[in-house]
Amino acid sequence: MAPEHREAANAFAAGDELRLDITAMAHGGEGIGHAPDGRVVFVRGAVPGDTVTARATKVKRRWARAELVEVLEASPVRAPVSCPAAAAGAGCCDYSHIDSGAQLGFKRDVLVGQLGALARRSGVLGGFDPAADLQLRALTPHIGWRTRVRLGVDAHGRAGVRHARSADVVASEHCTQPVPGLLDGLVGEARFTPGSEVIAVLDSGGTRHVVETARVQRGRRAETITTVIEGSGDVTERIVGPEGAHEFAFPATAFWQAHVQAPQVYSDVISEWGAGNYTRGVAWDLYGGVGAFVPAIHSATGGARVVSVDYSPAANAAEQPGLAGWGVEMVEGRVEGSVDKLEAPGLVVLDPPRAGAGEAVVRAVAAANPERVIHVGCDPATLARDLGAWGGEGFRVRRMLLIDAFPATHHFETIVELARK
């Protein structure tokens, strides 16, 4: 049969049901199968090793998206859904139907696949083989790990996590990510302003802070606390470095890593990987937030003057007590508009948001010719794109570590050390 006739015979449309063997996980948390005509089909809730019936919801020329109808044969790593909110349709724990021992391996496969597709051709990997050389680490605990959470509020004033792929609120069930006690008395209670958002934080001192904010437009990071419901609204966090403990104070709306172990683990990696004898006495901390990585950078460089750049007003609202006396320069502004005005660094650490740094930032940083770069990425696709840009500027990967800091979700963090070849 000619290819065009075979494609016509196997054609399908939205609403059609397909029998699919799920062979891999996609970036984004969906299972991957192949339709009879060869098109890739993404199925939310499917697991590699499953055979499923799925109903097509969106059909494109090269791919399709489908909803799970029935699991005909279950994967050996399929497990009962561990998160009540996810079972009710929330988008929080999209890996909660996968055995916890298998999740890290699927995340590894996703990262390796993204690197192969987007970064390899730039030469940035050099002699680094992600399949063999990638380091893996899963943070614990796997349940009750999140120290800060953002809840939506429905039209009845009830708070809850948001529905998958929707702004609707699941106010009937609790998510299993938050640390014990963080959501007590919050989910399902008709006590908040309809349409607002509720941010709850349990800080290093054990104090819970609950604040209400107006929902922020997409792409904006600045937001205003409209009501402090519990606590002061100003959180205190702590990281232990070689020189001792460092305390950070900032509004509940400012960024801090979500997993209870993540800030310390990331700092320890930066201290180790960034250690060296640099010819320049300046280091950059880009997208630095409140300066959580500054102690690690200061230690790794033997006391270099650290310049920390971030454009969040909440992050730069006050001087940090844990950085007093170090001469840290905190720059409020966008990274792409700031780095060309800074003194050239020995070490650069950058931790961009999910959208990544982008080619313009990579090019600007590379123009300063840093001796070493540590790039932290929370999205494998944008990280791979950024690594490709680093490769175009002559940088090569030395080490790479995948950290599962988001158990029961498809998300993970990657830390990469680079230097010019």
Q: What is the pLDDT of residues 142-196, one digit of tens each?
A: 999 999 999 999 999 999 999 998 999 999 999 999 999 999 999 998 999 999 9
H or E element in which residue 304 lies: none
Quick check: do 3-73 and 102-141+259-420 share a fold? no
- The more confidently predicted of residues 1 and 180 is 180
pLDDT confidence of residue 404: 98
pLDDT computed for residue 120 by the predictor = 74
The answer on pLDDT for 4 being more than 50 is: no
| Side chain identity at residue 149, one-letter code | V
Q: C-alpha distances in angstroms, 305 versus 218, 230, 241?
A: 35, 38, 17
312-316 average pLDDT score? 76
Active site residues: 378
Q: Which CATH architecture has domain 3-73?
A: Beta Barrel (2.40)
3-state helix, strand, coil in the chain (%, to 5): 20, 35, 45
Distance CA 145, CA 258 (A): 8
**pLDDT confidence of residue 279:** 97
Report the pLDDT value the prediction gives residue 313, as an integer from 0 to 100: 77
Q: What pLDDT, on a 0 to 100 scale, did the predictor assign at position 5?
A: 40
Each domain of the chain, given as residue ranges in start order, spans: 3-73, 102-141+259-420, 148-237
Phi and psi based region of residue 235 (left: phi greater than 0; alpha: psi -120 to 50; beta: remaining):
beta
Report the percent of the chain where pLDDT is more than 70: 95
Please report which confidence band the pLDDT of residue 8 belongs to, taking 50, 70 and 90 as the band edges.
low
The pTM score is 0.94
Please calculate the CA angle 285-286-292 and round it to the nearest 5 degrees.
Answer: 50
Report the alpha-carbon angle 41-45-49, nearest 5: 75
Q: Cα(273)–Cα(349) distance, rounded to whole angstroms? A: 11
Please tell me the predicted confidence (pLDDT) of residue 317: 66
Residue for token pair 């230097």: 419
Rg (CA), the chain: 23
Predicted confidence (pLDDT) at residue 288 exceeds the cutoff of 80? yes
Q: Among 121-130, 372-381, 404-413, which stretch is predicted with the lowest mean pLDDT? A: 121-130
pLDDT digits (tens, 9 = 90+) for 329-381: 999 999 999 999 999 999 999 999 999 999 999 999 999 999 999 999 999 99
pLDDT, mean over the chain: 94
CATH of domain 102-141+259-420: 3.40.50.150
Distance CA 232, CA 191 (A): 19
Encoded amino acid at 184, one letter: D
User: Cβ(49)–Cβ(75) under 8 Å?
Assistant: yes
User: Looking at residues 47-58, what average pLDDT do you find?
Assistant: 98
Mean per-residue pLDDT, 246-264: 95
Q: Is the pLDDT of residue 32 over 60?
A: yes
| Least confident piece of the model among 80-89, 215-224, 239-248 | 215-224
> Does residue 222 surpass a pLDDT of 80?
no
Residue 419's beta-bridge partner residues?
396
